[in-house]
Amino acid sequence: MAGGDDLKLLGTWASPFAIRVKFALALKGLTYQYDEEDLASKSELLLSSNPVHKKIPVLIHNGMSVCESNVNVEYVDEAFAGPSILAADPYERAIARFWTAYVDDKLLASWATMLFRGKTEEEKSDGKKALFVALQTLEGALAKCSDGKAFFGGASVGLVDLALGSQLSWLKAVEVITGEEFFGGDKTPLLAAWMARFSQLDAAKVALPDVDKVIEFAKMRQARMAAAAATTPSN
């Protein structure tokens, strides 16, 4: 892997947002220092590097901080040589940014509601319905954006691939925890095939967390949330 620049990533291992930055760095063949953050006790470096939101991921390049995951990915794409992540055509870039926002706003929100945000069974059920809708919508987007090729970016991995790919371990964990099947069959055959291809990428093998570890993490978080809710006085 290429090196030479002072490059550091602040993140947490389970964060889809940090994972997509790891994807971008791996695709470019870059070496970097990774610092695992404890979000319950944030480091001074994180607080000083992202004083506005105080969130991960933060990419630090030669002492300069770049915040927010998609901004990180675009910065890596523009600052370093290697395979392009964003298309050269302005319209194609705009479409990729649109679907990336959709992945973050709709897909992530739906499975997070199923696992963590939904307080009632009805809310969790609504999250499941929203997840099916989001995946079916992305199935259509893949058919159009890929133009019959392997990825959302066409013949090569693009911005939408990284955004969706960064959530694969979580989506697989949701299937195990809920007993629901979201991929495959006649529901999302294109996405199922895409998932298999993406998972075989070297960048994915390096950056994606182990699904069993994600499941354990999710169940521990659910248990903590349940315990906190049980000790909260009702009105």
This prediction has a pTM of: 0.93
Number of H helices, E strands in the chain: 11, 4
Place of tokens 């630090």: 60
Worst-scoring range by mean pLDDT, 32-41, 53-62, 179-188, 221-230? 179-188
Domains of the chain, earliest start first: 7-79 (3.40.30.10), 90-219 (1.20.1050.10)
How far is it, in rounded angstroms, from Cα 109 to Cα 122? 15
From the list 229, 217, 201, 222, the residue with the least C-alpha distance to 27 is 201
Strand ranges (E), the chain: 7-11, 33-36, 58-61, 64-67
pLDDT reading at 153 higher than 50: yes
High-pLDDT (> 90) share of the chain, % = 89
pLDDT in tens, 19-28: 999 999 999 9
**In Å, what is the CA distance from 105 to each residue of 47, 52, 99, 112, 116?**
25, 21, 10, 11, 16
